[in-house]
Amino acid sequence: MNHSLPTSIGSAGSYHYFAVLTACFTFLLIVAGALVTGNEAGLSVPDWPLSYGSLNPPWEGNIRYEHGHRMVAAFVGLLTIALAVWVWKKETRGPVRKLGWIALGVVVAQGILGGVTVLWYLPAPISVLHACLAQAFFCLVVSLAWLSSPAWERRVRDRSPGLPLNRLAMATAGAIYLQLLLGAIFRHTQSGILPHLLGALLVTLLAGWLIARMFLSPQASSGLTGAATLLGVLLALQLLLGLASWLLRLAAADAVQPEFPVVAVTTAHVAVGALLLANGVILALQSWGVQAGERRAESGLPATPVNP
Amino acid sequence: MMRLTNYLCLPVALLAALFAGACGSVDIDEEGMDEVDGTEAPTVVTRVDPATAATVTGKVYFEGDLPRARRLAMDAEPACAGLHTGPVYSEVVVPNDNKTLQHVFVYVKEGLEGMMFETPAAPAVLDQKGCIYLPHMLGVQVNQPVRILNSDPTTHNVHPTPRNNREWNESMAPGIPPKMKKFPREEVMIPVKCNVHPWMKSYIGVLSHPFFSVTGGDGSFEITGLPPGEYTLEIWHEYLKEGVTTQKVTLAASESKSVEFTLKQAS
């Protein structure tokens, strides 16, 4: 595992708030995408990249969801272009500099996948890939926002080799992403829910273990326990939303059109899943700083304050 | 085969979408499609002597409880809701007062092998009126034209999702001329959906012969002009799948027989 991320953000802080803005709109885009799926609106606009041969189609029925999603996506694409250029201009850390271009490549691929889903009438593998790439893109933008933040500068100045908590945080973030993949497969293929339930169990175990480790850490500052609490709250909320959306889906099995409670709860489930993943990614990133603090404490040095 | 072709066309589709923006308007007329399979099709049209033609009539009953009729939520769409004076209900399960069902597709499944029937030149009509499909269930022959109308003051898209025919998805703005479509392969049934108004669903049964019917307001059906012979009749309902769904019937020249079917909810 490479733990050699440079710590000084230098002038990168100049794009931090822009990265946060991009992350916010990306979250909005994920919500808009979930609304498209929930309302069965994916093919309400038969053409792509234009909508009904126009940039301003009739704002009727499900066209609102699909074209709204496209508009937010186009805006996020523009934001990402600007962010990538900004990162390239201002960022001095090589790995972080690359993240801007990777994010741009992913958002372009994501746009093409969105078009392919329309032109090929929502083939399940493409729809699943589209859903998962959206979350990967969100992770990238959140990472850029975090790595350019003053908090990152404070927390990871004292780097250290990887320790179990670091690996556990990475494993938790990976498990959350896997769980989002299983959720997308369940949603887009109407397959059995068992893999998604097992994924929930895995995430719960890993996140629970991580939360416990964070609380029990010698560096269990209020910031660290706060981060652990946020992870726990998001996890609990996500489990409740998952249960509720499943029960509502069962209750609405004979529905003749998408029903508001189902759409609202499943959309919230997707949204909180994205927040959980972002939280997991930030915890994984900041675990470098936490580990440094622990190492320093064990060696008798004053610990670096940890205030996630 | 069609799926494989679609996937092999990925680069072409992407390029076309990116640089021409024209993929959504690709002509998807069904006439140039491949044959259904490798079996040798009859080449001589079967003529049924009207003097010996037989008839099957009957009714489709239901037993047990049926799901309650669901009211369609058009409230968010004034262009649709304004077309109705009262509530509109789903046509998924429509019982009649005499314990029979509407919208059941009845067709000859077996007994016509080796025969070929003329394809009607007159189109079947599928209208979008009041933000519902009229009729809800439609039978056509292979390659028979289907005339699709939009009589509404709002935009619809027409999206059949077949298994054996080619899928397509086209928009229909208000006042647009009718679309003419054909389905070159037999298929019972092809769901048709409007993704703009997701409650709008219809079903098209495509057969190589004209011996089919859809039950109406009294649950009855009639299939006329059959050559004498032994047939298997089958029914199809979009929701109710259990019960007596097939019947064998032997028809002598000019004979008329009645058969009954019964459907019930899955236990």
A48 and A133 fall within a common domain: yes
Q: How many domains does chain A have?
A: 2
Whether residue A165 sits in one domain with residue A108: no
Instruction: Please indicate, yes or no, if residue A80 is contained in any of the structural domains.
Output: yes
Query: What's the whole-number average pLDDT of chain A?
Result: 87
Minimal-distance CA residue of chain A relative to B167: A121
Tokens of B188: 């019972």
SS3 (DSSP) at B111: coil
In terms of residue numbers, what domain contains B87? 52-264
Indicate the pLDDT class of residue A163, thresholds 50, 70 and 90. very low
Q: How many CB pairs under 8 A join A and B?
A: 97
What is the rounded CA–CA span in Å between residue B240 and residue B62? 9
Residue A4 placed within a domain: no
| A256/B197 touch (CB, cutoff 8 Å), yes or no | no
CA separation for the pair B25, B35 (Å, rounded): 24
Question: Which domain, by its residues, includes A48?
Answer: 11-148
Last residue of a domain, one of A97, A119, A148: A148
In chain A, the residue whose alpha carbon lies closest to the alpha carbon of B157 is A44
N-to-C CA span, chain B: 37
Q: Do A46 and B17 touch (CB under 8 A)?
A: no
Are A205 and A271 part of one and the same domain?
yes
DSSP H helices, chain A, are 16-38, 63-90, 94-119, 124-147, 150-155, 164-189, 194-216, 222-251, 260-298
pLDDT greater at residue A185 or residue A161? A185
Please state the domain count of chain B: 1
Residue A20 placed within a domain: yes
pLDDT digits (tens, 9 = 90+) for A62-77: 999 999 999 999 999 9
B6, B25, B79: residue with CB nearest A47: B25
Place of tokens 């027989």: B257
Find the helix or strand (DSSP H, E) in which B172 lies. Answer: strand B170-172
Does residue B38 belong to any structural domain of this protein? no
Contact assignment for B17 to A63 by CB distance below 8 Å? no
pLDDT band, residue B30 (cuts 50/70/90): very low
What percentage of chain A reaches a pLDDT higher than 90? Answer: 71
Q: What is the CATH number of the domain that holds B69?
A: 2.60.40.420
* Subunit contact B198:A254, Cβ cutoff 8 A: no
In-domain check, residue B42 = no
Lowest mean pLDDT among A178-187, A224-233, B54-63, B222-231: A224-233
Mean pLDDT of the A263-271 span: 98
Say whether both A125 and A162 belong to one domain: no
- Mean pLDDT across A14-30: 96
| Cβ-defined contact of B67 to A120 (cutoff 8 Å) | no
- Residue of chain A nearest B199, judged by CA positions: A257
Q: Which pLDDT score is estimated for A111?
A: 96
In a shared domain, residues A104 and A191: no
Please report residues of B whose CB lies closer than 8 A to that of A46.
Answer: 24, 157, 159, 169-171
Higher-confidence residue of B45 and A113: namely A113
Q: Are both A182 and A106 inside the same structural domain?
A: no
Nearest to A41 among B70, B171, B195 (CB): B195
Residue A100 resides in a domain: yes
The answer to whether residue B24 sits within a structural domain is no
Q: Name the residue among B17, B67, B80 with its Cβ closest to that of A119.
A: B17
